[in-house]
Amino acid sequence: MTDPRDNRVDHAAKQLDDATSLFLQGHFDSAWRFAATADEILRKALSDSGENSFEREYQPSIITEAEDVALWMIVRACRNYDLLGLPRTAKGREFQDWFDEHVVGQGQFYDDVVGGV
């Protein structure tokens, strides 16, 4: 019998991959929703295993671009995925490459936001 936790984490990994794909295609509202779902599942899995999740809250301004909200929700979900010790998926590596090029390359540092991987 399969552990229900494994099924939830597998579902979260799929949701996170879908969020990444949607984000990279410019569908930011949908990406945010998929990433938020994945993050909730991953935080619960971390809690169930006695680990602390990455809880950094994104504090949007009154006028927030959907791209920013989606980006930081994906970053938070990716960090919680990493905290579970799961191997990066191809989409996860693609997002990390995009992040390194477009965010870190603009003078913002991943380590300052979510800590070292």
Amino acid at 107: G
Q: What is the extent of the structural domain holding 84? A: 4-114
Number of domains in the chain: 1
Question: Exposed, middle or buried by CB within 10 Å (0-12, 13-18, 19+), for 88?
Answer: middle
pTM: 0.75
Q: Which two tokens stand for residue 51?
A: 């680990």
The pLDDT score that the predictor gives to residue 38 is: 94
Q: Which helix (H) or strand (E) holds 105?
A: none
- The kind and range of the H/E element at 12 are helix 4-24
pLDDT in tens, the chain (117 residues): 345 557 899 999 999 999 999 999 999 999 999 999 999 999 899 888 888 887 655 555 544 588 888 998 999 999 999 999 999 999 999 999 988 888 877 544 445 555 554
